[in-house]
Protein backbone atom coordinates (compact mmCIF):
# COMPACT_ATOMS: atom_id res chain seq x y z
CA UNK A 1 0.00 0.00 0.00
CA UNK A 2 2.91 2.35 0.59
CA UNK A 3 3.97 2.20 -3.06
CA UNK A 4 0.38 2.72 -4.22
CA UNK A 5 -0.11 5.78 -2.02
CA UNK A 6 3.25 7.19 -3.04
CA UNK A 7 2.50 6.85 -6.76
CA UNK A 8 -0.99 8.34 -6.50
CA UNK A 9 0.15 11.23 -4.33
CA UNK A 10 3.03 12.07 -6.67
CA UNK A 11 0.68 11.85 -9.63
CA UNK A 12 -1.71 14.33 -7.98
CA UNK A 13 1.20 16.63 -7.22
CA UNK A 14 2.30 16.51 -10.88
CA UNK A 15 -1.22 17.44 -12.00
CA UNK A 16 -1.50 20.29 -9.47
CA UNK A 17 2.08 21.61 -9.51
CA UNK A 18 1.27 24.50 -11.88
CA UNK A 19 -0.01 26.22 -8.74
CA UNK A 20 2.98 26.99 -6.48
CA UNK A 21 0.69 26.93 -3.43
CA UNK A 22 -0.82 23.53 -4.24
CA UNK A 23 -0.74 20.91 -1.53
CA UNK A 24 -1.81 17.27 -1.85
CA UNK A 25 -2.63 14.76 0.86
CA UNK A 26 -3.87 11.20 0.61
CA UNK A 27 -7.11 10.92 2.58
CA UNK A 28 -8.16 7.35 1.82
CA UNK A 29 -6.38 4.31 0.46
CA UNK A 30 -7.75 0.81 0.05
CA UNK A 31 -6.56 -2.17 -1.83
CA UNK A 32 -6.17 -5.89 -2.19
CA UNK A 33 -3.01 -7.94 -2.29
CA UNK A 34 -3.67 -10.66 -4.84
CA UNK A 35 -0.24 -12.14 -5.52
CA UNK A 36 2.68 -12.61 -3.15
CA UNK A 37 6.11 -11.25 -4.11
CA UNK A 38 9.13 -12.38 -2.12
CA UNK A 39 11.89 -11.09 -4.40
CA UNK A 40 12.46 -9.26 -7.66
CA UNK A 41 11.07 -6.02 -8.99
CA UNK A 42 7.55 -4.65 -8.84
CA UNK A 43 6.14 -1.92 -11.06
CA UNK A 44 3.24 0.33 -10.11
CA UNK A 45 1.11 2.39 -12.49
CA UNK A 46 -1.27 5.13 -11.31
CA UNK A 47 -4.24 5.86 -13.57
CA UNK A 48 -6.65 8.74 -12.93
CA UNK A 49 -10.27 7.82 -12.37
CA UNK A 50 -11.38 11.42 -11.84
CA UNK A 51 -9.40 14.63 -11.47
CA UNK A 52 -11.50 17.32 -9.85
CA UNK A 53 -10.42 20.68 -8.47
CA UNK A 54 -10.22 19.51 -4.88
CA UNK A 55 -10.28 15.70 -5.06
CA UNK A 56 -8.35 13.27 -7.25
CA UNK A 57 -9.26 9.59 -7.49
CA UNK A 58 -6.63 7.09 -8.66
CA UNK A 59 -6.44 3.40 -9.43
CA UNK A 60 -3.01 1.94 -8.86
CA UNK A 61 -2.01 -1.50 -10.12
CA UNK A 62 1.23 -3.10 -9.02
CA UNK A 63 2.68 -5.98 -11.06
CA UNK A 64 5.69 -8.21 -10.52
CA UNK A 65 8.41 -8.75 -13.12
CA UNK A 66 6.35 -11.58 -14.68
CA UNK A 67 3.42 -9.14 -15.08
CA UNK A 68 1.29 -10.85 -12.41
CA UNK A 69 -1.05 -8.43 -10.67
CA UNK A 70 0.22 -8.21 -7.07
CA UNK A 71 -1.87 -5.38 -5.68
CA UNK A 72 -4.78 -3.29 -6.87
CA UNK A 73 -5.49 -0.12 -4.91
CA UNK A 74 -7.71 2.96 -4.97
CA UNK A 75 -6.55 6.29 -3.59
CA UNK A 76 -8.38 9.53 -2.86
CA UNK A 77 -6.20 12.62 -2.69
CA UNK A 78 -7.26 16.02 -1.36
CA UNK A 79 -5.87 18.88 -3.42
CA UNK A 80 -5.79 22.35 -1.95
CA UNK A 81 -3.75 25.49 -1.52
CA UNK A 82 -2.08 26.47 1.71
CA UNK A 83 -3.91 29.53 3.02
CA UNK A 84 -4.72 31.07 -0.37
CA UNK A 85 -8.39 31.88 -1.09
CA UNK A 86 -9.84 30.04 -4.12
CA UNK A 87 -10.40 33.26 -6.09
CA UNK A 88 -6.66 34.05 -5.90
CA UNK A 89 -5.44 30.65 -7.07
CA UNK A 90 -4.31 30.24 -10.66
CA UNK A 91 -4.38 26.71 -12.03
CA UNK A 92 -3.30 26.10 -15.58
CA UNK A 93 -4.81 23.09 -17.32
CA UNK A 94 -3.09 23.81 -20.63
CA UNK A 95 -0.47 21.09 -20.05
CA UNK A 96 -2.88 18.57 -18.48
CA UNK A 97 -2.90 16.16 -21.46
CA UNK A 98 0.90 15.98 -21.41
CA UNK A 99 0.97 15.45 -17.66
CA UNK A 100 -1.64 12.69 -17.87
CA UNK A 101 0.37 11.01 -20.62
CA UNK A 102 3.37 11.04 -18.28
CA UNK A 103 1.33 9.65 -15.41
CA UNK A 104 -0.40 6.90 -17.36
CA UNK A 105 2.60 6.12 -19.54
CA UNK A 106 5.61 5.95 -17.31
CA UNK A 107 4.99 6.80 -13.68
CA UNK A 108 6.33 3.71 -12.02
CA UNK A 109 8.72 2.74 -9.30
CA UNK A 110 11.29 1.48 -11.80
CA UNK A 111 10.75 3.95 -14.62
CA UNK A 112 13.42 3.91 -17.30
CA UNK A 113 12.03 6.78 -19.39
Q: Which residues are known catalytic residues?
A: 5
Helices and strands in the chain: count of H runs, count of E runs: 2, 4
Q: What angle do CA 22, 23, 28 make, to 5 degrees?
A: 140
**Beta strands 42-51; 69-81: pairing state:** unpaired
Return the axis-axis angle of helices 96-106 and 2-16, rounded to nearest 10°.
Answer: 160
Residue 53, Cβ density class (10 Å: 0-12 exposed, 13-18 middle, ≥19 buried): exposed
**Could you give the CA distance from residue 29 to residue 105 in angstroms, rounded to a whole number?**
22
Amino acid sequence: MVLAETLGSWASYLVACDDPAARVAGIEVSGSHVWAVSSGTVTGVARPIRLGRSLHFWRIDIHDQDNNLCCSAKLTVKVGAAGIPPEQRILSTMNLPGILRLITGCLSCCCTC
